[in-house]
Amino acid sequence: MNDLEKYFYKNTGRQISKWKHYFEIYDRHFSQYRGTDVHVLEFGVSQGGSLQMWKEYFGPNCKIYGVDINPHCMTFEDDQIKIFIGDQEDRQFLHSVAEEIPRIDILIDDGGHTMKQLICTYEEMFKYIDKDGIYLAEDLHTCYWPYWSGGYKKRGTFLEYSKNFIDSINAWHSRSFRLKVSDFTRTVYSLHFYDSILVIEKRERDQPSEFQSGISTIPEYVPIENFRMKLNRKLRIIKNIFTKKEDS
Ligand SMILES: C[S@@+](CC[C@H](N)C(=O)[O-])C[C@H]1O[C@@H](n2cnc3c(N)ncnc32)[C@H](O)[C@@H]1O
């Protein structure tokens, strides 16, 4: 059991609401920040228990920020904990939050979990996360639940939306004009899809390059298909040259 899990099961203070398997995922991505002056922003305050848990886990130098639509959540402000009241679907409000926080190392989206809320929060806030920071959205099972406007392979769910991130992170290798290198390609190091959770680790990246080391001693196996493709391409080029000459 990691420290977060221990804290959760011993908790007699403010209520925390988390799925059991999340603790291993949090610890896997967040433990590197323990004891530092990490700035954590969590959407969804509810009873204030998770903010207390983060404060305990990250230590005396961390700064925890919570966002919730419920004005009663303001009562959960505390040492090292600041609360913002507003709607995570309100893009102006999101910008105003980002402007008040000096830095975001970790963003956790545990807010209302509707598709609009998830997409809006990602679209507006991702750029504000530090270049080496982490984005984590949880409870993504709502992407399958009609009440939250989810559904299997349904267009517009956050999971369908985020499946495109897999293409974006690989865009350096694209041969299609429809998939181009973007800020996402240049600033995202890895994507982690778990049950109900997506973690995005940011890190600046250059165009990837391949190298060989050591000595090659046997002829390489080249599939016959590659020969055929190359031959066909050459034949097409020759044919085009001759057709153009005949035209002129
Ligand atoms: C799942 S609870 C958060 C649980 C909390 N993080 C915890 O671990 O104990 C979701 C919270 O999101 C808030 N919420 C719902 N819709 C919202 C919206 N549009 N903008 C901001 N917060 C919202 C709710 O008021 C509720 O407190």
DSSP string, the chain: --HHHHHHHH--SS-----TTHHHHHHHHHGGGTTS--EEEEE--TTSHHHHHHHHHH-TT-EEEEEES-GGGGGG-BTTEEEEES-TT-HHHHHHHHHHSS-EEEEEE-S---HHHHHHHHHHHGGGEEEEEEEEE--GGGGG-GGGT--TT-TT-HHHHHHHHHHHHTGGG--STTS---HHHHHEEEEEEETTEEEEEE---PPP-----S---SPPP--HHHHHHHHHHHHHHHHHHHHHHHH-
pLDDT given for residue 237 in this prediction: 86
- Mean pLDDT confidence for 2-16: 96
Alpha carbons 4 and 58: distance in angstroms, whole number: 10
pLDDT given for residue 228 in this prediction: 80
Surface-to-core class of residue 164, CB atoms within 10 Å of its CB (0-12 exposed, 13-18 middle, 19+ buried):
exposed
pLDDT given for residue 223 in this prediction: 80
Mean predicted lDDT score pLDDT of the chain: 95
Q: Which residues line ligand 1 (CB under 6 A)?
A: 16-18, 42, 44-46, 49-50, 67-70, 87-89, 110-112, 117
Alpha carbons 226 and 222: distance in angstroms, whole number: 7
Mutate to test the pocket of ligand 1, among 88, 89, 97 (most ligand atoms within 8 A of CB): 88
Q: Which two tokens stand for residue 84?
A: 């913002």
pLDDT given for residue 118 in this prediction: 98
Q: What's the gap in Å between 66 CA and the centre of ligand 1?
A: 10
Mutate to test the pocket of ligand 1, among 7, 19, 46, 107 (most ligand atoms within 8 A of CB): 46
Do β-strands 104-109 and 197-202 pair in parallel, antiparallel, or remain unpaired?
unpaired
Which of 106, 103, 100 lies closest to 138 in space, CA to CA? 106
Cα 126 to Cα 142, 154, 172, 199: the distances in Å are 21, 23, 21, 12
Do β-strands 63-68 and 39-43 pair in parallel, antiparallel, or remain unpaired?
parallel
Reported as a single tens digit per residue, the pLDDT across 208-237 is: 999 999 999 998 888 877 778 888 888 888
Q: Please check the confidence at residue 12 and state whether its pLDDT lies above 70.
A: yes
- Mean pLDDT confidence for 62-80: 98
Mutate to test the pocket of ligand 1, among 47, 70, 149 (most ligand atoms within 8 A of CB): 70
Q: Please check the confidence at residue 248 and state whether its pLDDT lies above 80.
A: no
Reported as a single tens digit per residue, the pLDDT across 144-155 is: 999 999 999 999
Q: What's the gap in Å between 119 CA and the centre of ligand 1?
A: 15
Reported as a single tens digit per residue, the pLDDT across 195-211 is: 999 999 999 999 999 99
Residues 203 and 189: beta-carbon distance below 8 Å: yes
